[in-house]
């Protein structure tokens, strides 16, 4: 029963992150006034497990929800009007690019890089980051 409740909660979170519900989306970024309420609604939900979050769900996340989902970034660069959050694991680096949207920082783009230019899918890198959430960078 608890697993079903957690799964249902996760699905609701992913739907909210993908712009479902009351907010309109533009290019994957939440733009409606109800997007502020998502932070309050999802603050108590468990972070997603590896394999349960699509990389496209990163777009439109508030800074608070991105940190809740992925943990604290290993590196943050503030270069107004943007912030760049970097999540480093042994096999890849996930960069999130956040911009102010209606008074809150929101993920507008993400990029995946690998050491030595090897090939790795966005979903595989995100899964590695989720698996090592709040851990010490491995690279």
Residue pointed to by tokens 């029963």: 1
Q: Does 65 map to a domain? A: yes
Residue 16 lies in a domain: yes
pLDDT above 70: residue 15: no
Is residue 138 assigned to a domain?
Answer: no
Q: How far apart are CA 49 and CA 31, in angstroms?
A: 27
Residues 6+ apart with CB under 8 A from 30: 19, 23, 24, 38, 60, 101, 106
pLDDT in tens, 110-136: 999 999 888 899 999 999 999 988 554
Phi and psi, residue 5, nearest 5°: -65, -40
Q: Which domain holds residue 31?
A: 2-131
Instruction: Say if 136 falls within a structural domain.
Output: no
For residues 14 and 55, the model is more confident at 55
Examine residue 74 and state whether it is found in any structural domain, yes or no.
Answer: yes
In this structure, is residue 99 part of a structural domain? Answer: yes
Q: Check residue 31 and give its pLDDT.
A: 35
Query: In total, how many domains does the chain have?
Result: 1
Mean local confidence (pLDDT), 4-29: 37
pLDDT in tens, 41-85: 444 467 788 889 999 999 999 999 999 999 999 999 999 999 999
pTM of the model: 0.64
Asked if the structure places residue 139 within a domain, the reply is no
């Amino acid at each position: 029963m608890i697993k079903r409740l957690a799964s249902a909660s996760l699905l609701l979170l992913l739907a909210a992150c993908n712009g479902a519900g009351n907010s309109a989306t533009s290019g994957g970024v939440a733009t409606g006034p109800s997007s502020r309420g998502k932070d309050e609604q999802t603050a108590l939900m468990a972070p997603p497990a590896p394999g349960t979050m699509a990389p496209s769900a990163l777009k439109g996340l508030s800074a608070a929800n991105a940190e809740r989902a992925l943990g604290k970034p290993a590196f943050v660069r503030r270069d107004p009007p943007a912030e760049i959050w970097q999540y480093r694991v042994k096999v890849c680096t996930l960069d999130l690019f956040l911009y102010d949207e209606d008074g809150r920082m929101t993920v507008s783009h993400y990029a995946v890089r690998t050491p030595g230019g090897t090939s790795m899918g966005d979903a595989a890198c995100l899964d590695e980051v989720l698996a090592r959430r709040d851990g010490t960078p491995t690279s």
